[in-house]
């Protein structure tokens, strides 16, 4: 599926106005199963949701923006703070006339945006999906050291293809998102306030969001289910899309509350193999 055929451009206003490139696909008027908004991680792009979009778009309206500074969106010289990303996100919902309540799905750095929004405005969401994200995240120590180095950004940009391949944002954007925003973020206090049904998806070998952190996230969310995708790291929706799509189907079409469910720990085998 060529997602470029389904991209629109939006101009969001604020202290740092920015043009966003957004994938908008599926039925826009009364989609049979609602709307899903997908938020990618730091240095990612909306294209990373392609397997989920192709699977879900026949029945859902899918909206997947490139965050500011990423992919095909504009690259402003802004702070890349959580507040800016939240402002972009809430304006996007208004400009695209997203029908509410909608489903919010996030990966990695998209998680802080999704969790903050869900805690502040839960009535606007029907379900929440958190993939490889947690209330506290750190990257590989070597990468974290490089991102924090007080070196000229030109040198950092030259290092990026070597130390951070497959990234879809300039080095200065990655530096500001990670060192300036994500590494400082702690969202533990938000989790108990989120009562909507939530799916927590973890990669078995994820070193950024280890299984222990995924389990803690699940325990602090009062209405959540934890699924572990075997043999994956930090990108389970890219590494094993069929497995992720299966659990998304079960979650999206299944029960509206997990409070009465018995949720096994990751070590007890609540993990998936491709069948």
The whole-number pLDDT of residue 267 equals 37
Please report, for the chain, the start and end positions of each structural domain, with discontinuous segments joined by +: 3-136+186-272
For the chain, what percentages of helix, strand and coil (3-state, to nearest 5) are there? 40, 20, 40
pLDDT at 144: 64
Q: Which two tokens stand for residue 1?
A: 């599926």
pLDDT value for 179: 82
Q: Are 25 and 35 in contact (CB under 8 A)?
A: no
Q: What is the pLDDT of residue 163?
A: 58
Which residues, in sequence order, are bridge partners of residue 203? 229
Residues with Cβ < 8 Å from 235, sequence gap 6 or more? 48, 107, 132, 203
Confidence (pLDDT) at 138: 80
pTM: 0.87
Ordered per-residue pLDDT tens for the chain, 275 residues: 789 999 999 999 876 789 999 999 998 776 678 999 999 999 999 999 999 999 999 999 999 999 999 999 999 999 999 999 999 999 999 999 999 999 999 999 999 999 999 999 999 999 999 999 999 998 766 556 656 666 555 656 666 565 566 788 988 898 889 888 998 899 999 999 999 999 999 999 999 999 999 999 999 999 999 999 999 999 999 999 999 999 999 999 985 554 434 344 343 334 444 44
Residues with Cβ < 8 Å from 137, sequence gap 6 or more? 108, 109, 111, 182, 183, 185, 208, 209
Would you give the DSSP letter of residue 228? Answer: E
DSSP run (H or E) holding 227: strand 224-229
* Superfamily, domain 3-136+186-272: Alpha/Beta hydrolase fold, catalytic domain (3.40.50.1820)
Q: Looking at residue 136, what is its pLDDT?
A: 94
Query: Residue 72 has what pLDDT?
Result: 97
């Amino acid at each position: 599926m060529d997602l470029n055929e389904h991209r629109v451009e939006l101009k969001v206003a604020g202290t740092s106005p920015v043009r966003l490139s957004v994938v908008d696909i599926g039925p826009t008027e009364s989609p049979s199963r609602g709307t899903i908004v997908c938020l990618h991680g730091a240095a990612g792009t909306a294209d990373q949701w392609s397997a989920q979009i192709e699977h879900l778009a026949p029945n859902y309206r899918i909206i997947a923006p490139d965050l500011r500074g990423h992919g095909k969106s504009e690259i402003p010289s802004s702070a890349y703070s959580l507040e800016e990303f939240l402002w972009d996100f809430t304006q996007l919902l208004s400009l695209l006339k997203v029908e509410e309540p909608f489903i919010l799905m996030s990966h990695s750095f998209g998680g802080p945006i999704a969790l903050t929004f869900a805690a502040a405005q839960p009535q606007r969401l029907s379900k929440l999906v958190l993939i490889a994200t947690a209330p506290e995240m750190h990257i590989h120590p070597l990468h974290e050291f490089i991102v924090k180095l007080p070196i000229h950004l030109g040198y950092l940009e030259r290092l990026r293809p070597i130390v951070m391949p497959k990234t879809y944002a300039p080095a200065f954007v990655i530096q500001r998102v990670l060192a300036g925003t994500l590494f400082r973020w702690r969202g533990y206090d938000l989790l108990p306030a989120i009562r909507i049904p939530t799916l927590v998806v973890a990669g078995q070998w994820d070193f950024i969001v280890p299984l222990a952190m995924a389990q803690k996230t699940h325990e602090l969310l009062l209405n959540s289910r934890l699924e572990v995708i075997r043999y994956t790291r930090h990108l389970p929706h890219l590494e094993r899309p069929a497995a992720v799509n299966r659990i998304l189907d079960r979650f999206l079409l299944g029960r509206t509350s997990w409070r009465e469910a018995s949720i096994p720990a990751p070590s007890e085998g609540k993990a998936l193999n491709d069948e």
